Amino acid sequence: MARIAGRNGALYAGITSGGTAEPIAYLTQWTLDASSDRTDVTAFGDTAKAYVQGLPDAQGTFSGWYDSASAQLYTAAVDGVARKTYLYPDRTTPSVYFFGTCFYDFSIDTSVDGAVSISGSWASATSMSKVG
């Protein structure tokens, strides 16, 4: 796969508990941070620090414009239920994506001199996988 522009990215999530994942309206950005715990196991006499790899973690953020006709991710943030989640770097290449189930947080920002925007974060409830 070549380098791509982010303009065709998408975040799909189950808006209702147990629902089918669908695109979240009017998002402009999402992030995925995949990392793992590392435990220092350096011992006497070692010539450099030594680590063992622990459990993987996945977290991220999203932001965009508020849609008064959709729950977007507000319901997911307040009911505490993990949602099916799919992150597409480029939805015109639907064979490449990240997926898992996630918990969401949601924020809304309203100002007199700007459009109403949303943002939030997510954290994996299961392991995240990459397809493609």
Tell me the pLDDT band of 103, cut-offs 50, 70 and 90.
very high
The residue extents of the domains of the chain are 6-32+57-131
Model's pTM, two decimal places? Answer: 0.88
Percent of the chain with pLDDT over 70: 98
Q: Which fold has domain 6-32+57-131?
A: Pnp Oxidase; Chain A (2.30.110)
| 1-39 burial code (b ≥16 CB/10 A, e <16) | eeeeeeeebbbbbbbeeeeebeebeebeebebeeeeeee
Contacts 24+ apart (CB under 8 A), 34-39: 34/58, 34/128
For 6-58, the pLDDT digits (tens) are: 999 999 999 776 778 999 999 999 999 999 999 999 999 999 999 999 999 99
Q: In a 10 Å sphere around its CB, with 0-12 CB exposed, 13-18 middle and 19+ buried, how is residue 61 labelled?
A: middle
Average pLDDT over residues 76-90: 95
- Return phi, psi of residue 77, to 5°: -75, -30
